[in-house]
Structure 1
Amino acid sequence: MTSTELARQPLAHRIRQKIKQGMGPWGVFLEGFIRNPVMVGSIVPSSRFTINRMLSKVDWANTKLFVEYGPGVGTFCQPVLDRLPRDGMLIVIDTNPMFIDYLRRTISDSRFVAVNGSAADVEEIVRAHGHEKADYVLSGLPFSTLPKGVAPAIASATYRVIRKGGAFLVYQFRPKARSYMAPHFKRIDDAIEPINVPPCFMWWGWKDED
């Protein structure tokens, strides 16, 4: 490698960093999508219409633990924290360390915990933070493109970790995600949010039995 090439490397890196910083969370989200599109559902974060509608069925007064899979740059995090009681906790789980690092740097709330790990390990993660059950679990993970066996494992672990009366909240761009919920959640509400890029399917799987 020539001295000119060596000199260009830091400059190119600095330029990329400046562009990412200028774009704020969008830059981090875009980089995460480019690096691992299989684990990121969309190149565009969810709209406020999707956020408000997805969270509208939550009984916030009785929520002590809210869990989110695949938080990305935290599109849902602040809206959840805004609704969460003072003694509640929000645990977010993501396999992408870049997203987890960004969230830890940008969200300073004692109720917030960001975990670099797999949603399939949600039971262990919940117990490690002092809880036996979660009230609600939210997921925007792209179930249809996850590695073989991962989506069923996540759905099963999620059902076990949710307390009776709680729910699994899922938003996706393909209808297949419902098929992973159906073996566990017998009562599933559904909707479509058109004001989103792209429009998305929504499901609320209720745990009526232990």
Structure 2
Amino acid sequence: MRGSASTVEFLREFVKSPTTTAAVGPSSRFLAAQMVAPVPGRGEPVVVELGPGTGSFTEAIQRRLGGRGRHLALELNPRWAETLRERFPRVETVCANARELPALLAERGLRADVVVSGLPWAAHAPVDGVPLVRLIADSLTEDGAFTQFAYTWTRWAPPARRQYRDLLATFDETVISRTVWRNVPPALVYLARRPR
């Protein structure tokens, strides 16, 4: 699914459920490049994608992997999960909630080297006192990395500030990128490394 068809699909899903669809349209290749930058260029990395939507980051991850490693995608929307399975047969796409990540990796005997997230801020809210960021960190290898994008105008919203605090408390290093102006709307990337 490409171009305007993908945009229409995103808008339809956003209108139906704005709290579970993070974006109003597919991410640009410029944002995707920043999101997947931590994916190792060699070896057999395990990459997990949370909330891949219609596959903007999925495509970039697959290019970066070049047939290496494992790529697991967790998509809550059943229609998008099916579309991803058709578009990217090498990706193990699971229709599941991001909070199921630790169990899904344990079933496969894996830990993630990189987690790439396109989830909305609402998905990161603590459940039973545990923020999603903690579950992600616990699923990563010792030197693992986590990326999350956000629109620039949401950076100062309470959920974004809460997540930033969670990242600082959970990872040794957290960096916020410069604004990716060539995305609509403009966005930035949070990169967190080395879970504590």
Which structure has the larger Rg over C-alpha atoms? 1
* Residues 27-51 of structure 1: per-residue CA shift (max 9 Å, x gap): 3322221221111112111111111
Q: Aligned partners of 2:173, 2:76: CA distance in 1, in Å?
A: 29
Q: Report matched runs for 1:19-168 at 5 Å.
A: 23-109=4-90, 112-128=91-107, 130-143=108-121, 145-146=122-123, 148-150=125-127, 152-168=130-146
Higher relative contact order (CA 8 A, sep 6+): 2
Q: Secondary structure at the match of 1:163?
A: strand
Q: Structure 1 residue runs of 4+, over 4 Å off? A: 20-23
Q: Give the counterpart of 1:203 among 185, 190, 195.
A: 190
Distance in 1, matches of 2:11 and 2:109, equals 33
Q: Specify every segment of 5 or more residues in structure 1 that has no aligned partner in the other structure, as ranges.
A: 1-19
The answer to whether the 8 Å contact 2:52/2:73 transfers is yes
What secondary structure, in the 3-state scheme, does the structure 2 residue paired with 1:164 have? strand
Structure 1 residues 22 and 206: alpha-carbon distance in aligned structure 2, compared to 1, 3 A threshold: closer
Tell me how far 1:59 sits from its aligned partner: 2.0
| Unpaired runs of at least 5, structure 2 | none
Report the AA paired with residue 97 of structure 2. S
User: In the comparison of the two structures, how many residue pairs are matched?
Assistant: 186
Q: CA RMSD in A?
A: 2.4
Structure 1 residues 134-143 or 60-69, which shifts more? Answer: 60-69
Q: 1:72 Cα shift?
A: 0.4
Alignment CA distance shift 1:64-1:148 (3 Å):
closer
Could you tell me the TM-score, scaled by structure 1's length? 0.79
Deviation at 1:63, TM superposition (A): 4.5
After TM superposition, give the deviation of residue 73 of structure 1 in Å: 0.5
Q: Which residue of 2 aligns with 1:7?
A: none
CA gap of 1:67–1:33, structure 2 versus 1, over 3 A, is same
1:85 deviates by 4.8
